Amino acid sequence: MARVTRRPGPGRAVRRGPVPGGLAGLADVSADGLIVVDKPGGMTSHDVVARIRRLARTRRVGHGGTLDPMATGVLVIGVNRATRLLTYVIGAEKSYTATIRLGQTTVTDDAEGEVTATASAAGVTDEAVRTALAALTGEIDQVPSAVSAIKVDGQRAYKRVRDGETVALAARRVTVSRLVVLAVRRDTPDLVDVDVDVTCSSGTYIRAIARDAGVALGVGGHLTALRRTAVGGFTLAEAATLPELEQRSPDVVSLPLAAAADRFFPRRDANGDEARVLSHGGPLAPAGIVGPYAVFGPAGNLLAIVSEREGRARAEIVLAPA
């Protein structure tokens, strides 16, 4: 196949030669960077990744924290070298708006699962609702939903449940730093819908909060709506919909690699000698920065993500081009 060369536009990289993995003939591919996507309902996070692979014209695409198919909102996508930043994005604090329905229990702890029990919530007071949710804030030991992606003996918990098994998951320590009741609605007889705004640590299940509030109130509960409003500093205000990304393909990256790292991490600027050492994986003298942090070269290019230990600043990942 002939070599193909095109002049890159803003935010666009050039690939010369065939594009692997069934994307042959598409010479222009997206640059390294992050995309903040407003995920629609009805799609898995992997469905979104597959769509972005097509739009970005590269297979090096990943996401920074799963959203259930029912959920909508912020899904951070990494493209090309920026996929290496996603391990840090996954661990970031997250915010959600959600609706908890009291009076019904489902097998999945959300509206996608079969209702397994009902109990009238008509007698549950607003004060009782707020008290039950207040008990689920701060550092808590939370049992994840049985229908989750957690692996049990090498198999996803949700698959075991769908195969008819009873799955008991161990409690995990999570932090719910903010849980605000926005509204308590009684639009349907015997049911109470509670709109909440939640900020929590990575690994927190909002479905489990709904379930546990229902258990505490003695009427059962599940989640009927979930929208992620922020992941770390990435918010809905900057999120693009899939139709919007379709329109600008393959220039889908909204935050180039260096800009993404500068925004997400503390920054350290290296001189020329330090840049050469770090680019080859060598350590630097410590700077007293609480890590991990991003180190940039004299030209403003991202070199590595670094943490300080044993008196040296050592790269966790090197991102400088070889």
Beta bridge partners, 96, equal 198, 228
Positive or negative: CA dihedral 24, 27, 33, 36: negative
Helix, strand, coil percent content, the chain, rounded in steps of 5: 25, 35, 40
Q: CA-based Rg of the chain, rounded to a whole angstrom?
A: 23
Instruction: Tell me whether strands 72-79 and 221-231 are parallel, antiparallel or unpaired.
Output: parallel
Catalytic residue among 28, 32, 38, 68: 68
Note if 68 is an active site residue.
yes
Cα–Cα dist 236/229, whole Å = 5
For residue 34, give both structure tokens: 């992050």
DSSP, collapsed to helix, strand or coil, labels residue 318 as strand
3-state secondary structure of 163: coil
Q: Could you give the dihedral angle defined by the CA atoms of residues 20, 248, 228 and 68, in that order, rounded to the nearest 10 degrees? A: -40
21 DSSP assignment: T
Q: Tell me phi and psi for residue 310, to 5 degrees.
A: 55, 35
**Distance, CA of 234 to CA of 247 (rounded, Å):** 22
**Alpha-helix runs per DSSP H in the chain:** 45-56, 86-90, 126-134, 157-162, 206-217, 242-248, 257-264, 272-279
Per-residue tokens: 92: 């970031």
Do 36 and 260 form a contact (C-beta atoms < 8 A)?
A: no
Catalytically annotated residues: 68
